[in-house]
Structure 1
Amino acid sequence: MAHPGFFQRQASARRNTSLLVFLFLTAVVLITLAVCLVGYFTTRSETSGQPFQYWLVSSHGLITAATVVVLIGMGSLIRWVDLAGGGSRVAKMVGARPIDPDTRDGDERKLRNIVEEMAIASGVPVPELYIMDNETGINAFVAGYTPGSAVMVVTHGAITQLTRDELQGVVGHEFSHIFNGDMRLNVRLIALLSGILMIGQIGSFLLHASFYSGGRTTARNRDGRAQALMGFLGIALFVIGYVGVFFGRLIQAAVSRQRETLADASSVQFTRNPDGIGGALFKIGLRSSYLDTTGHANDMNHMCFGESARMKFTALLASHPPIEQRINAIQPGLLARLKSRLRDTEPGDDLRSATAGPRPAGTSGFAGSSSIQTLSESVGTISSKGEDFAIHLLQRLPSTFRNLLYTRAGAIQLCYAMLISELAEHTQAERLGLLRNHSLFGAQPDLLAKLLPTLQGLGEAVRFPALELAMPALRKLDPDERAELAENVRLLVDADNRVTLFELALTSFLSRHLGAEAGRVTPVRYRRYNAVMPALQRLLSLMARAGARDNRDAGALYLEAIAGFANRGNHDFPILAKVTMRELQETLTALNGLSPLLKPAVIDACGHCITYDSVIDVREYELMRLVADQLDCPMPPMTV
């Protein structure tokens, strides 16, 4: 069976989100009815024994039902708002600390290098990295709402007990969750289950309160009756709430197991090294993946690489298939091979040398297809060429240049340097003179002197990868600082009264990932192309003119590209002579509202334009990556 593609997995994640919301609402209705039933028996004497269905629509019943719905809604809403900060908020919730990009710790540098290689190879901004210092178990998770705002959290046990290949397998597994849209689903699950848990927590509170008050008021019959009633309500609500949580976690676990199996398979596809993720899982089986230092282990169970909490009814509530089953699903016979290696290891040897094993011959770390026929097929994938490109690029970057990208000042100056690197020195000075003096946002000649030679020496192909490496530092800017950077970039772009393809790509990239809407999920607004035809007209007009040699060729190329979308005839949407930057941004915002299954055709139509002359230059591909990025479709770098 063919491995599902990026767009199919995105559509599946959205369907799962809708299903979970439906099941959550169903659970709310059932819990409300159960609590109303308790209320009915509690007040039956006051309501003359009327049937339940009549009591339910009485003032008592309606007030009870409304109270339950409000309590559940408040519980979910409070957690939802708490998690609105995205992945960084989840990381802080479990007590993880950010890893300094310039860390000197060998294990942390190993993790950072693996993540950077995979990010560059896949075309996504480098995720922010966090570590749970006090967790000895082997585990990891990603959190966030969009690929561009993802954070990755790894336990100390994972980076110290796993070999590079094994850690690469875990990182590949987590990147699969980034590509597949699982992060958004996982964060929302935490909020939804918190609401259901609210009823059980109230029941627990009433139960404790009844016992506490009983110690002081047993001499009074009236107080004794109140105590008994409070205890009965507490027990009833406690049981109802936690039965609801049980079934909620049952649904959560079923969905999670399916997606964990898919992520395991994707990791093997990315790394082309089943021994990597297989060895990591094998070590979890020998040791542990539990999170013992956070009170949120149960909440995080469905998000983690391995089980994070010890649970009863493990066969039903486990968010992951059994370890042996996961290893055997990766490759038949892999478990026996790993066990054999362990037996052959001398006592006292580090297990990491026993389970790493050699890579299959002819592989470089990440999988890839040498026969990708359309650009949409490359979205959300990592090829061996892309990984080789990433490794080679990182090796060629001078350490001074690379370390500057990890600082706010260096990342800001990088944006300026990319806009002036191809200009003559006197013109560079004129452009930088447009910026106002500022300790952070003003031109800093000493930093630019370290950035410009590398940009000029490595050429255009280094620009977007360098920007992706700088994204963790740029995300540290507060909203006012982000606005200041955007204004300065716009000032440099407008200096010559024209906009190049790269300038268009850079400003749009920064707007998407640092603007007010950064990190927010774009809901599906369109399930047909008809509603976005003006947007397609603008986009394909720009792409056709970028890919053609002259106006005549551009017109013919445009007609070919638009033909698959215009149902009423191509003449209704003629090629446009000019598309402004603002129009392009509005266009890409509109197209991002398409259903995931409609986006591949847009990517391929743009790809048809830039491959028209059988040559793709760097600037054309940068524009292509801009389109894909704005549609939340990570595209690997150009490797040829």
Structure 2
Amino acid sequence: MQFRQHQWKAHRKTLHLFAWFGVLLVALTAAVNLFLALVVKLVLPIGAGYPALFFETNTAVVVLFVIGGAWIETARLREGGGARVAHWLGGVEITDPDSRLEQRLLNVVDEMALASGQATPRVFVLRREDAINAMVAGWGDDDIALCVTRGALERLNRAELQGLVAHEFGHIKEEDLPLTMRLLALVWGLSLVHGYGRSLMSADEQGRVNSAAWLIGLVLSIIGWLGWLAGRGLQAAIARQREYLADASAIQFTRTRDGIGNVLRKVWHDQQTLTATMHSPAAEMVASLLLYEPPGMHWLSSHPPLQARIARICGAVLPPIPAPILREEVNEARHTRTTAEPSTKGFVNAPVIPLSALSTSADHPAPTMSAPLHDDRDALARLQRRQGPTERRLVVLGLMMDPENHRELKLWRQIATGLTHANAILEDVQHLHPKRRLPEFERMTAQMSGDPIEQKRKLIEEARDLLRADGRVTPLERLWWLTLRHRLDTQRVTQSARLAPLSISDETPTQFSAQDLVHAGNLTAYLARVIPESEDQPEITARGYLWCTRVMNRFGMPDQIAQALNAPDADTLMHSLAEVQELSWLQRPLLLKAWVEETINLSSTGLLSDRHADALRLMACLLACPLPPMLETHYRRIQ
């Protein structure tokens, strides 16, 4: 890609489009004068002239609304600068990073500030966003904020993160931020003409409508709406050219096309799998500032199609690539950040990751498994061929038990007495990758849901005896047993319930009542014995209390109450579980999402461990919730 040529073309097209904005304002003024003149001729007697200063007044009104409205909107957008926009999206400023991923982001931002010759902006992480996206907002060096989603931190390697951040620095270098803000203000000013026309058409306090005012309002509303639509199209066209320009700048700053190119290919894959959408309600308001927005009407979209951007960057439309959470080690040295002063010498080379590293870490992350991948898949294939009632029962029990627990293993062998190939089943279960155990458990129990009630009751009793064979039942083992009972008892019901359409109504509750918070807190306190520690704990540890408090703070529970939560006993657990299961289908996923996100936030690696992922997936099954993307991705890494 000849990025300097594309930069020159983008600048030239932007100037042309701004000229069209001026033409649009003149055309809008002329159209208002023309149509209002026709209205006057229809209303006044034939031969009568136009009122004094008729055309001057019309012109002044249009210009006042467009230019004055744009000035007012510009002043409003200036309040708070980029940090205000970041807070709208739920961003958390990163000054003292608490994870290596965040430290890597700060280091990359410093590098791209040097490469672009720009001041270092304030850095925010959108920790609730799983999509790959980023944005910069602000008016000048003093108030620029750079926001990066958590999905980008966890699913992009270092070279790709450099490309993403370099793209945003391209917007800063080309002064796109004040340009974008002014375009928003101009379009808003154009919309005021339509709004003024609608106000003239409305009735007064007595319900009467002035016919002359109604005709004038009709003209202004129609022409104003057409003007707004044309302005919105011009705004989108300018924004598309600036995206091409920022892509070219990303290549200039990193000296490689693979970084930003692979980012867009991963976003394209997420778009196809419907996981590229931002969840914040404010995302739509700042769509033109983001790296990517969902596709809509092409001429009203502020971003070019991903295929066109990839073709410009890579020279061809390369296929999309998946973006799983990367398992590569992130060892970023902690250093004191300094503000990068604008460079007077132009370009400074930024570190570039070799292409060989890209192919192994981004596209084909090496799996970390306790057994070779081919042995794992062969074992899975053999287990899926086990169709006998006794075979399936032993597979389920084998998946639930701890293979290192000798007492559980001894009882499993006693249950398997008489089956000649029991050792082969046990060996296959032990060869499974930890990420396959729970999905295979769900598949097996789904098949067994239609078995006679006697067989299901026997399996539940054998599982209970197996898990307490060593004289204790850990919190995670209890979750396995509760899930087994839940799936065998309710599988038929949940299958039929999927046929019922789900609809969102204004009456569907999303806020937790005080009683709901108590039950949600009990479940959270129970999970705190497993999360975020690596082993089940008899009591909640200090780190467990921190996790529990951060989860419940999301729902408005004060710190002193959250810190006073204790691990519930069996009866309290069952009662709270039953109450939470009765919450609305909008409330339960919010609780599960909070568990997952805070587990990742407190993880030293920024990733879910297999043990934590299993506990959260078991709770998702008990609450009949869909898996959040970050939890679902954990189980896809070895597919």
In the superposition, the TM-score normalised over structure 1's length comes to 0.45
Larger Rg: 2
In the superposition, the TM-score normalised over structure 2's length comes to 0.45
